[in-house]
């Protein structure tokens, strides 16, 4: 990863993200997606996470409590407070990420504005960091990617070292990230089965990475599935034999 992980809390505080999206749905329905806990539990948080706890007291001063859980069962608790509610036009609320001791390590002030036109709704989200400390710096790395669904400006630099090569049969290399603890190992094994080849991929040591959403096991599973099951498969099967 980049040197962003080493930035001080002072540098990262007051960082602001503004995004706009248009939904093919009436404003009242979009507003409900943000204020009904049964709906919000279905989409809040990083892709692949579930929200076993989603509690919303939708009134000024009302509390927010969401527990985000990854595929390993690790829970990332979040609290917050509604500051302003203008139905169905505007929401202002804080979102506070907690560490395992219950200490707030990241606080973001979110403003959601909904504008309806021709039965479609344009949503503008302004997310401003008001507090960041400790492991909250790592959480902040994925904030923009989490809201936009893109890795805008967030780069994860892999540092790898070849450890074993058996031509046509096996490849083993290490896998770590610059600026973060943890070291893992990737193994590719090839098995001839008639006119086809079976590939077995094993990625060990993921538990050594920091327990933050960016390093959730689901992200690695989806990434390798895309690479091996789609990109590599398509490249191998369409490449002309020299």
Kindly report, residue by residue over 112-139, the tens digit of the pLDDT.
999 998 888 999 998 888 888 877 766 6
Confidence of residue 159 (pLDDT cuts 50, 70, 90): confident
Q: Is residue 2 part of a domain?
A: no
Are residues 120 and 32 part of one domain? Answer: yes
Query: Looking at 148, 171, 203, which one is the last position of a domain?
Result: 148
Domain CATH for 50: 3.30.530.20
Flag whether 153 is in a domain: no
Lowest mean pLDDT among 49-53, 168-172, 191-195, 220-224: 220-224
Q: Give the model's pLDDT for residue 12.
A: 56
70/102 same-domain check: yes
For residues 187 and 130, membership in a common domain is answered with: no
Residues 132 and 202 in one domain: no
**What would the DSSP string read from start to end of 173-204?**
EEEEETTS---EEEEEEEEEETTEEEEEEEEE
User: What are the CB-based long-range contacts (under 8 Å, 24+) for 195-201?
Assistant: 199/228, 199/232, 201/228
User: pLDDT grade, residue 70 (50/70/90)?
Assistant: confident
- Judged by phi (left if over 0) then psi (alpha if -120 to 50, else beta), residue 40 lies in alpha
Q: Is residue 105 part of a domain?
A: yes
Separation of alpha carbons 95 and 132, rounded Å: 12
Model pLDDT for residues 205-216, shown as the tens digit of each residue: 999 988 777 777
> Is 158 in contact with 176 (CB distance < 8 Å)?
yes
Q: Taking 50 as the threshold, does the pLDDT of residue 153 lie above it?
A: no
- Which of the pair, 148 or 74, is modelled with greater confidence? 74
Specify the pLDDT at position 13: 59
Question: Which of 119, 148, 177 lies at the terminal end of a domain, its last residue?
Answer: 148
Q: How far apart are CA 161 and CA 98, in angstroms?
A: 35
Q: Could you give phi then psi for residue 74, rounded to 5 degrees? A: -70, 130
Which pLDDT score is estimated for 152? 44
Judge if 170 and 66 occupy the same domain: no
Q: Are residues 168 and 188 in the same domain?
A: yes
83 and 111: one domain? yes
* Residue 131, in any domain of the structure: yes
The residue with greater pLDDT, 36 or 10, is: 36
pLDDT over 90 at 155, yes or no: no
Q: For residue 240, is pLDDT > 90?
A: no
Claim to verify: residue 162 and residue 144 sit in the same structural domain: no
CB atoms under 10 Å from CB of 139, counted, come to 22
Q: What is the pLDDT of residues 77-120, one digit of tens each?
A: 999 999 999 999 999 999 998 888 888 888 999 999 999 988 88
What is the CB-side half-sphere exposure of residue 235 using CA atoms within 13 A?
A: 7
Both 105 and 210 in one domain: the answer is no
d(CA 44, CA 76): 12
Are 33 and 128 within one domain? yes
Residues 55, 35 contacting (CB under 8 angstroms): no
- What range does the domain containing 135 cover? 9-148
Q: What pLDDT does 3 receive?
A: 38
| Same domain, residue pair 27 and 97 | yes
Q: Out of 118, 148, 178, pick the residue that ends a domain.
A: 148
User: Do residues 41 and 99 both lie within one domain?
Assistant: yes
Share of the chain above pLDDT 70, in %: 82
- The structure tokens listed for 209 are 């990475």
Look at the chain and report how many structural domains it folds into. Answer: 2
């Amino acid at each position: 990863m980049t040197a962003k992980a080493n930035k001080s809390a002072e540098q990262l505080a007051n960082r602001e993200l503004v995004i706009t999206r248009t939904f093919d749905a009436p404003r009242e329905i979009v507003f409900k997606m943000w204020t009904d806990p049964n709906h919000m539990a279905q989409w809040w948080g990083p892709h692949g996470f579930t929200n076993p706890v989603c509690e919303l007291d939708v009134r000024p001063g009302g509390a927010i409590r969401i527990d985000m859980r990854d595929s390993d069962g690790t829970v990332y608790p979040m609290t917050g407070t509604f500051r302003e509610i203008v139905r169905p036009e505007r929401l202002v609320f804080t979102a506070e990420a907690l560490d395992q001791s219950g200490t707030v390590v990241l606080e973001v002030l979110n403003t959601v504005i909904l504008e309806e036109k021709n039965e479609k709704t344009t949503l503008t989200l302004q997310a401003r960091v008001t507090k960041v400390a400790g492991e909250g710096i790592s959480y902040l790395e994925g904030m923009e990617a989490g809201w936009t669904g893109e890795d805008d400006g967030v780069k994860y630099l892999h540092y790898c070292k070849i450890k074993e090569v058996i031509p046509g049969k096996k490849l083993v290399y290490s896998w770590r990230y610059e600026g973060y603890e943890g070291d893992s190992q990737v193994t590719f094994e090839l098995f001839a089965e008639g006119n086809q080849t079976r590939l077995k991929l094993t990625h060990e040591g993921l538990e050594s990475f920091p327990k933050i959403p960016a390093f959730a096991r689901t992200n690695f599973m989806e990434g390798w599935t895309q690479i091996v099951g789609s990109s590599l498969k398509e490249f191998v099967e369409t490449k002309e034999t020299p």
